[in-house]
Amino acid sequence: MIEVSNISKKVITAEGTLSILQKINLSLVSGESLAIVGPSGSGKSTLLGILAGLDLPTAGSVSLAGQDITAMDEEGRAAVRAETVGFVFQSFHLLPGLTALENVALPLELQSDKEALKTAAYYLQRVGLEHRTTHYPRQLSGGEQQRVAVARAFACRPTILFADEPTGNLDTGTGEKISDLLFDLNKEEGTTLVLVTHEHNLAARCGQRLVLAAGRQVVESPIKKKVPGKKAAVEKKVAPDTKLKAKPKAKPQTEPEAKPKAKAQGSKS
Ligand code: ADP
Ligand code: MG
């Protein structure tokens, strides 16, 4: 579903060339989840933007659902994004002149989905905002705006959902609700999840983890476990390319709970 080969990102600044990412590799199959973790400034948001086709690497390639998006022009990438990708930005990106309901419905209306408002109302209810549908972004708290942004991304039923710190602005309870929702979607619809997060609990729920430090992929050291009668034993060697398959892949349920059909055209692969 996602294949990343040796991507690097350099930018030219007034002080010279800045290397933001160096030789990142990863591989994610359909329905898997990945947490990108690391300190502030380590390149997490830059990497997420490149994986989602919003930005280009300086070297290396990214393939989404079998398509090399780094070999495409902007028009080609935009088509893949529309077809495959949902994105929750760190700074929400809601339109101030539209209500919560209209913000969620907009991408569906742009796809001429006749059920746009119905689907939008359903996903607002799923994030616990059914009582805020007619509110404008300025009338909502940061956490509520974040939830609208999450509902908007979900409403398009993306094949891959990218989210940059989706619980970053939320209190623990609301954050957990959003995490549950992300993983419900992952289970119900087989959505592949790529999350940037500081939350240990959220990262721990993901099947793979990619740790960044100053733009490099950190190989995590093996867990040392004391075994009676022995000095120390290495429990398991971690492969150098983050292949930490902690959890079995969730199977999509055959009978998800009743919900409106989100897309007029079946663009999900
Ligand atoms: P994170 O999301 O892990 O906090 P970012 O990906 O936002 O990190 O940024 C990584 C580093 O690259 C930071 O030091 C940031 O200032 C720098 N950076 C990101 N984009 C640019 C850019 N377009 N020009 C210059 N520096 C950038
Ligand atoms: Mg960031």
Q: Which atom of ligand 1 is nearest to the CA of 38?
A: 3
Residue ID of nearest Cα to ligand 1 atom 22: 11
Dist CA 120 CA 101 (whole Å) = 6
State the distance from the centre of ligand 1 to the C-alpha of 18, rounded, in angstroms.
Answer: 9
Query: Ligand 1 pocket by C-beta < 6 Å: which residues?
Result: 11, 13, 18, 20, 38, 40-46
Residue extents of the structural domains in the chain: 28-37+89-234
Q: Can you give the pLDDT at residue 133?
A: 97
Q: Which atom of ligand 1 is nearest to the CA of 164?
A: 2
Note residues around ion ligand 2 (Cβ under 5 angstroms). Answer: 45
Please report how the helices 116-126 and 142-155 are oriented relative to each other, as an axis angle in degrees rounded to 10: 130
- Nearest of 113, 40, 29 to residue 63 by alpha carbon: 29
pLDDT tens-digit map of 101-153: 999 999 999 989 999 999 999 999 988 899 999 999 999 998 899 899 999 99
Q: Which atom of ligand 1 is nearest to the CA of 20?
A: 12
Residue ID of nearest Cα to ligand 1 atom 24: 11
pLDDT < 50 positions in the chain? 232-269
pTM of the model: 0.80
- Which ligand is located closest to the Cα atom of residue 165? 2
C-alpha distances out from residue 241 to 51, 139, 198, Å: 16, 44, 21
| Domain 28-37+89-234 part of CATH 3.40.50.300 | yes
Q: Which atom of ligand 1 is nearest to the CA of 49?
A: 6
Half-sphere exposure of 1 (CA within 13 A, CB side): 21
Q: Can you give the pLDDT at residue 261?
A: 45
Amino acid at 261: K
- Nearest of 156, 159, 157 to residue 109 by alpha carbon: 156
